[in-house]
Structures are given as structure tokens and as C-alpha cells.
Copies of this chain bind each other. A is one copy, B any other.
Amino acid sequence: MQSRTPASRTGRPRSAAADAAILAATREALVELGWSKLTLGDVATRAGVAKTTLYRRWAGKNELVVDAVAELFDELELPDRGTLAADIEGVVLRFAAILARPEAKSGLMAVVAESTRDEALRERIRASIVDRQKRLVHTGRARAQERGELPPETGPEDAARTVDLIFDIVAGAVVHRTLVSAEPADEDWVRDFTRVLLLGLSGSARPGM
């Protein structure tokens, strides 16, 4: 989690149970207190470890919360539902469900905000959250191209740019809907969103597929 491969051949090993307890306690504290009122001392108490133990493993609140929140997104998958529209609706609904949880809401945006002034933190977020989920876009796109629902690649560079664009649109819209508009990204919304994403504003006025 916090990249500890080198050295440490001998001596007492770090408790893996403590890691799990700390991350769980962090999520619990995020739910009860939110980001700003969350203190590392409190997390340590909840986890049943000493504050010094926590500081030996994480540099600070930012890194700790990134790891705690990242685990929430690990469950995301992209089941094959037969059509591109159905695939999108399914994964967006799952993503929205995770993002609706208070520990994700409070934690994720706060660390993203901090990452604007901390390049290392941004890299940590990208590696442990963003890039891990971007594969879903790749998969869904490849499937749709096999089905003939999307035109084939024009080149590897264009493909990467398109995937990035789609990811920004999808993740951005869901996050904005959930956190800024503070409205649920429910089935109705996801259906409307998917229609716009696939057909565009020009072709998505009339309801009914």
C-alpha cells in the first residue's frame, strides 16, 4: 500500500492487521467527522494503535485518506450487458453508488483539492484510484468496437486521447452531479446521461430508446 519493498529483512515485521485496522478506522472517522475534523490521533485511537505507529507508515492525513478511499473503488467491474449503452449505464451506476457513500464523498474531493499543490499526492491518487479505473473505459470501448457500435481505432495516440476524454466526461459528470449538485445519480439520470454521451445533444432530445 505505501510501497515498502526495500530493506527490512530482519526484525519484527509490521502488523498487517494494523494496516487494515487503521484504514478501516480512517473510513469510519471520515463518515462521522468528515475530512476537516478528522485527526490522526483520533484515527489511531479508533484503530487501537499508537499515534506514532500511524506516523511510521503514512506521511500525513493526505496519504492516509487516499489509501483508505482507494480501497472503496476496488470493487468496480464492467460486466458485459450486451450493448454499449447497457454497459455504460451499469458501470456508471456502480460508480455513483460508491461515490454516494459519505466516506468517499468527504475524503476524495479533499485529497484532490490538496493534490493541486502536491505533485506527489496527485501521482498517488492517479496510481491508486484513477488509472486503476480507467481500464474500465478501455474494456468497454474495445467491446463496443467488436460489436460494431463504435468505429475502430485510428491510431494508438488517438485512442489514448479518446479514452482520457471519455473518462473525464464520465467521472466528472458523476462527481459533479453527486457532490456539487448534490442530487443522486440514479437510474433516470444515468439513462439521460448515457443517451447524451452516445448520441450527443442533437440526437438525444426525445425520450424513449
Contact = CB atoms under 8 A, between A and B. Distances in A.
Interface of A: 34-36, 84, 102, 105-106, 108-110, 112-117, 122, 125-126, 130, 149-151, 154, 158, 161-162, 164-169, 171-177, 179-183, 189, 192-193, 196-207
Contacts of A198: 200-202
A199 B200 CA distance: 4
Contact of A166 (B102, B149, B162, B201): B201
A112 B34 CA distance: 12
A73 B33 CA distance: 31
Q: Chain A at the B interface: mostly helix, strand, loop or mixed?
A: helix
A164 to B, nearest CB: 7
Contacts of A197: 196, 200-201
Contact of A150 (B150, B177, B181, B205): B205
Q: Specify how many copies of this chain sit in the oligomer.
A: 2
Contact of A196 (B105, B117, B151, B165): B165
A149 B108 CA distance: 38
Contacts of A130: 180-181
B109 A149 contact: no
A137 to B, nearest CB: 11
17 contacts: A35-B113, A36-B114, A84-B201, A110-B113, A110-B114, A112-B179, A126-B180, A164-B181, A168-B176, A169-B169, A169-B196, A171-B172, A172-B174, A172-B176, A175-B175, A198-B200, A203-B203
- Max chain B CB contacts within 10 Å: which of A154, A161, A199? A199
Nearest to A164: B181
B174 A114 contact: no
Given A173-B169, A200-B198, A205-B150, A179 B116 contact: yes
A113 B122 contact: no
